[in-house]
Amino acid sequence: MDVARMSAPRRLSIPIENHWGAGQMSVLDFGDPNRPVDLVFSHANGFNAATYRSLLSPLSASLRIWAPDLRGHGASGLPVFARPKASWLDHRDDLLALLEAIDGPPVVLAGHSMGGTASLLAAAERPDRVSSLVLFDPVIWRRSAVFAFNLPFAHRLMAGIPIAKATRRRRAIFDSREQALAAYRGRGAFKGWPDMVLADYLSEGLVETPEGLSLSATPAWEAANYAAQAHNPWRAMRRYPGPIRILKAEHGALTFVPVSQKGLGDVTVEVVSGAGHLFPMTHADVARDALFEAAV
């Protein structure tokens, strides 16, 4: 495990082409390159694949893992668009294209928050390519809210929700990585993060520009994703026939699937004791065990 933890993942560039726009998706490739891909892990909104390096690296002793930078995040070169963003179907379709690039048997699809929801949406479209799902506090609103979000033009109103407005005001430029680390350490969403995880996030979360170090996921794009909720994860859960394991936060969960649920097929929901929405960063051992159990 120690050797695996120290081994840097390889950087792959996977061509993606769909009606959302063509480009290169950056993927971190953990584990033995001579074995088939076992698991694909997608990150939360505003983050990047490298943020989860300390979560995923120890698993690379036994598993091969692909961790993509979703559209508009990290080192991926997939274009973002100016028109109002209504849903996460772009991320779903990018994951579908990524699945097409993977040789071998069906894989475990996993993800955190937006990445978990996008994985669920993709699995519903291509269940033949997905052996199971492991989702860490995926964004699944109550059914009534999902119905409202899918009404015509609802996405235009969603641009004014508090989290989107606050995100658009985020500081986007830093003079150095040290300055960004000092600004984030122990504050807001980053409270309780180990310094190593925060440093991993900043390693790909900041890019050099003439103005300074800029967030690779711009505040405008992150806010657009928060406001874009016109997709239906409940329908996706009903359509996907394989096992779905959901780990939800005890505090501030964005998953509104109850622990005792009926009519959704092979879905299990567990609460991570003492954890908030970003528990893969603060309770990595729990998340890592769930990934390992699904993929071996």
The whole-number pLDDT of residue 89 equals: 97
The whole-number pLDDT of residue 82 equals: 58
Indicate yes or no: pTM above 0.85.
Answer: yes
**Do 276 and 249 touch, CB atoms closer than 8 A?**
yes
Q: Write down the residue that tokens 């695996």 correspond to.
A: 4
Give the bridge partners for 270, in sequence order: 247
The whole-number pLDDT of residue 261 equals: 77
DSSP string across 43-79: PPTT--GGGGHHHHGGGGGT--EEEEPPTTSTT----
The whole-number pLDDT of residue 83 equals: 67
In one-letter notation, the amino acid at residue 274 is G
CA distances from 69 to 14, 76, 248 (A): 11, 6, 23
Q: Write down the residue that tokens 């239906």 correspond to.
A: 232
The whole-number pLDDT of residue 8 equals: 85
Ranges of residues in the chain with a pLDDT under 50 are 1-4
Structure token pair of residue 181: 């680390």
Beta strands in the chain (DSSP E): 10-16, 23-30, 39-42, 65-68, 107-112, 130-136, 173-174, 206-209, 212-215, 244-249, 267-272
Other beta carbons within 10 Å of 89: 20
Look up residue 159 and give its DSSP letter.
T
291 vs 169: CA distance, rounded Å: 35
The whole-number pLDDT of residue 232 equals: 97
Q: Which of 56, 28, 58, 42 is nearest to 118 (CA)?
A: 42
Query: Residue 232: left if φ>0, alpha if ψ -120 to 50, beta else—which one?
Result: beta
Element (H, E) at 288: helix 284-295
In one-letter notation, the amino acid at residue 283 is H
